[in-house]
Amino acid sequence: MKRSKRYQTISDKLDPATLNDLREGIRLVKENANAKFDETIEMVARLGVDPRHADQQVRGFVVLPHGTGRTVRVLVLAQGDKEKEASEAGADYVGLEEHVKKIEEGWNDVDVIIATPDVMGQVGKLGRILGPRGLMPNPKSGTVTFDVAKAVRDAKAGKIEYRVDRAGILHVPIGKASFDADRLFENACTFIEAILRARPAAAKGQYVRSLTLSSTMGPGIKLDRQAVLSLFR
């Protein structure tokens, strides 16, 4: 893969064999996130699970204490009193039939979709459209609920969903390059704690195999797995 001169210059400054503790990794990724926009900082965790087996899936959600730095557009699919509740909580779009129709016609100007359980019969037919985009409401991710006010507030506050891919890897945004180091550190710790709690009983051997930080336009910064995990013992 051809890399830009900027990317190569940053890579040449980094020793690929060096494993960094979490704070040093954050310092390095911030230092090298020098694109002309506010780059997203992402953490990648390679886990010792086989996602082909249902009992080794790692999936869930967590609210980062300092958010992700993104403006999140929330749609709530609901009826009656729940519409008012969602609007008062700060949802960007609220309703049911009109939004179901718009989605069927190709509308996708939204980042999170929340639905109440009583309307899932109508929302279910959107699965083939929303599923591939990761927007289908799901009880496991907290987006199918009658407590729409809390769901909206969590989404706006920096709630992130995570799910291992076919290779057993998680990719999660933990903030922006403009965040100070302490905020990124606390967000990273919150995410790591969440995946440690989510360890499947069927997972054997080494659970967290590697951890890496990167910015949108920068190379990966490898973390010392043992040093990072020692923070949670």
Give me the domains of the chain, ranges plus CATH numbers: 5-68+159-232 (3.30.190.20), 74-156 (3.40.50.790)
For 81, phi then psi, to 5°, come to -60, -30
The pLDDT assigned to 113 comes to 96
What the block records as the tokens of 29 is: 């990724």
The pLDDT assigned to 192 comes to 96
Q: Is 221 left (phi over 0), alpha (psi -120 to 50) or beta?
A: beta
Instruction: Name which of 98, 70, 222 is nearest 159 in CA terms.
Output: 70
Distance of alpha carbon 11 from alpha carbon 13, whole angstroms: 5
CB of 194 closer than 8 Å to CB of 100: no
pTM listed for this prediction: 0.82
At 92 the three-state DSSP class reads coil
What the block records as the tokens of 90 is: 């700060």
The pLDDT assigned to 11 comes to 66
What the block records as the tokens of 20 is: 């960094």
The pLDDT assigned to 4 comes to 67
Distance of alpha carbon 23 from alpha carbon 186, whole angstroms: 10
The pLDDT assigned to 9 comes to 67
The pLDDT assigned to 202 comes to 93
Q: Which residues of 221-233 are buried (b: 16+ CB within 10 A; e: fewer)?
A: bbbbbebbeeeee
What the block records as the tokens of 131 is: 């599923």
Distance of alpha carbon 10 from alpha carbon 216, whole angstroms: 13
| Residues with pLDDT less than 50, the chain | none
- Beta bridge mates, 142: none
Instruction: Name which of 196, 218, 206 is nearest 12 in CA terms.
Output: 218
The kind and range of the H/E element at 102 are helix 97-104
The pLDDT assigned to 5 comes to 67
